[in-house]
Structure 1
């Protein structure tokens, strides 16, 4: 069952792509979606948002060919999970330490299967983190 509180950010320069991806999320019962059309808008929402985004789905070209897009996304505390599409890399090519947070696909647009797998992973990580108990204080 979809966690309807998840915040999703879709970043793509093409309106049609943003709408198609948003409809895939809607079909899975996710509706807290913010679509943006350029890197400046993406950074504005991330920098000024009070709550982190649970998921970012972005076209690899949006950042203008940033040489280390995975490193940039990995360091963003305001984004918990990311799917980067339109890359020459496959997920297995993404360095191991990025994989818990970043998924990559080389398709021009992510498929419904890719979105479903991403959200299953996000939901599972939320369940795992909610079951972790804080360490007892020694004081």
Structure 2
């Protein structure tokens, strides 16, 4: 699927970071981005969507529900195809979260540290490395 047609739900609880991430994505040809400030907003957007989102890009630490649980909920309901977690946690902690997500059968492409390196995201979602 061409990058410019990917439907992305971006979930970040810090408004400034949410805007900055959306601008970064737009600057790399990813324009179909729906922003959400928390898991409740994200789930509402997912439920309203007539088809699953191609990618759920979300912060691991969200108020009320962590990112891995949001991914599991959305995936179980058939509302997303893939996901990427963002976090300021240490790389070893992210590796543990990623391993646990894979054990749980979540459609996680990977975990990225914050601030997000857009090139790392583009590698994760490239056709060569995933089935996006």
Instruction: State the TM-score bracket (shorter-chain normalisation).
Output: 0.7 to 0.9
**Alignment partner, residue 20 of structure 1:** 20
Q: Is the 8 A contact 2:9 2:57 kept in 1?
A: yes
Bigger radius of gyration: 1
Q: Is the 8 A contact 1:73 1:82 kept in 2?
A: no
Measured after TM superposition, the shift of residue 63 of structure 1 is 5.3
SS across alignment from 2:126? helix
Instruction: Give the direction of change, closer, same or farther, for the CA distance of 1:39–1:105 in structure 2 (3 Å limit).
Output: same
**Alignment partner, residue 113 of structure 1:** 119
Measured after TM superposition, the shift of residue 114 of structure 1 is 2.4
Instruction: Give the direction of change, closer, same or farther, for the CA distance of 1:19–1:122 in structure 2 (3 Å limit).
Output: farther
TM-score if structure 1 supplies the norm length?
A: 0.72
**Alignment partner, residue 42 of structure 1:** 42
Unaligned regions of 5+ residues in structure 1, if any? 127-139
How far apart, in 2, do the equivalents of 1:66 and 1:92 lie?
13
**Alignment partner, residue 81 of structure 2:** 80
Provide Cα deviations, 1:75-134, integer angstroms capped at 9, x if missing partner: 2411111111215222762425636x21342523321122112220498514xxxxxxxx
Count matched residues.
Answer: 125
Unaligned regions of 5+ residues in structure 2, if any? none
How far apart, in 1, do the equivalents of 2:32 and 2:43 lie?
18
**Alignment partner, residue 98 of structure 1:** 105
